[in-house]
């Protein structure tokens, strides 16, 4: 009965992770000790342990090769759209430029661009969700997109690159209209990946 409860807890945890579509295997670390206990207890209960070891060992190797090893560890793809975005529109970003992720949580763009970013949002649900995460709150990277934040960005000296989902870019467009009085503003819309990049150049 104890073994059944251990296996059931592993199964429920893995189902939740897969339904959540995290695709990040480090979220499975909490179930590894339970899996080790269940595997050891199961092997001890099986007849002909020598054969059982071979079968379970082969399945474990196969699972590792087909699961976390490839492509997630050897050739990780955190987001193909983000990779395309960086390759097409952010690969010439100046060293001193600021990267702003607008109304979206997109760590893949940060990874591929190899640059820290800030998260700006005027959506209360998105902002509250990000600020509820201790790591995000401590980082100071989540910014409420009000007029003060807009004016601070406009007054900044460095170029700023905004990345926004196309369907949530209306406020960013209005901000850019304000910024165009003092900055060179450029929009790049990429329908294929449903993203928009707004580039605020240096002060005129």
User: Do you know the residue count of the chain?
Assistant: 204
Which of the four pLDDT bands, split at 50, 70 and 90, describes residue 156?
very high
pLDDT of residue 46: 65
pLDDT of residue 11: 79
Q: Are the C-beta atoms of residues 119 and 164 closer than 8 Å to each other?
A: no
pLDDT of residue 67: 66
pLDDT of residue 24: 58
* Packing angle of the helix pair 170-179, 147-155 (nearest 10 deg): 50
Indicate whether 109 and 187 sit together in one domain. yes
Section 150-167 average pLDDT: 96
Indicate whether 53 and 134 sit together in one domain. no
Q: What is the 3-state secondary structure (H, E, C) of 50-101?
A: HHHHHHHHHHHHHHHHHHHHHHHHCCCCCCHHHHHHHHHHHCCCCCCCEEEE
Indicate whether 103 and 168 sit together in one domain. yes
Indicate whether 122 and 188 sit together in one domain. yes
Q: What is the DSSP string of the chain?
A: -HHHHHHHHHHHHHHHHHHHT---GGGGGGGHHHHHHHHHHHHHHSSSHHHHHHHHHHHHHHHHIIIIIIIIITS--S-HHHHHHIIIIITT--TT-EEEEESS--HHHHHHHTS-EEEEE--HHHHHHHHTSHHHHHHT-EEE-SHHHHHHHHH-SS-EEEEEEGGG-HHHHHHHHHHTTTEEEEEEEETTTTEEEEEEEEE-
CATH number, domain at 107? 3.40.50
Which of the four pLDDT bands, split at 50, 70 and 90, describes residue 48?
low
Cα maximum dimension of the chain: 79
Which of the four pLDDT bands, split at 50, 70 and 90, describes residue 64?
low
Indicate whether 133 and 178 sit together in one domain. yes
pLDDT at 119 over 80: yes
Residue that wins the pLDDT comparison between 168 and 48: 168
Indicate whether 125 and 61 sit together in one domain. no
Indicate whether 96 and 185 sit together in one domain. yes
Q: Examine residue 71 and say whether the peptide bond preceding it is cis (omega within 30 degrees of 0).
A: yes
Structure confidence by residue, pLDDT tens digits, 88-110: 999 999 999 999 999 999 989 99
For residue 80, how many other CB atoms are within 10 A of its CB?
A: 10
Whether the model pTM is above 0.85: no
Structure confidence by residue, pLDDT tens digits, 24-38: 566 666 777 777 777
Which of the four pLDDT bands, split at 50, 70 and 90, describes residue 20?
low
**Domain-ending residue, one of 73, 106, 127:** 73
* Packing angle of the helix pair 32-45, 49-64 (nearest 10 deg): 150
Domain count of the fold of the chain: 2
* Packing angle of the helix pair 2-20, 32-45 (nearest 10 deg): 140
Domain with 161 in it: 80-203
pLDDT of residue 100: 98
């Amino acid at each position: 009965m104890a073994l059944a409860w251990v296996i059931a807890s592993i199964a429920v945890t893995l189902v939740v992770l897969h339904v959540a579509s995290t695709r990040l295997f480090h979220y499975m670390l909490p179930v590894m000790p339970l899996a080790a206990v269940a595997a050891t207890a199961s092997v001890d209960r099986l007849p002909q342990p020598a054969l059982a070891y071979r079968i379970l060992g082969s399945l474990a190797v196969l699972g590792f090769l087909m699961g976390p090893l490839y492509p997630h560890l050897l050739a990780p793809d955190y987001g193909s759209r983000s990779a395309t975005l960086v390759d097409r529109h952010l690969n010439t970003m100046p060293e001193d430029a600021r990267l702003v992720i607008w109304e979206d949580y997109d760590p893949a763009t940060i990874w591929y661009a190899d640059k820290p970013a800030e998260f700006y949002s005027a959506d209360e649900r998105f902002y509250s969700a990000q600020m509820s995460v201790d790591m995000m709150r401590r980082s100071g990277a989540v910014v409420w997109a009000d007029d003060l934040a807009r004016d601070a960005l406009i007054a900044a000296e460095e170029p700023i690159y905004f990345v926004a989902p196309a369907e949530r870019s209306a406020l960013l467009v209005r901000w850019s209209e304000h910024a165009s009085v003092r900055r060179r503003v450029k929009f790049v819309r990429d329908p294929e990946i449903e993203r928009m990049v707004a580039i605020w150049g240096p002060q005129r």
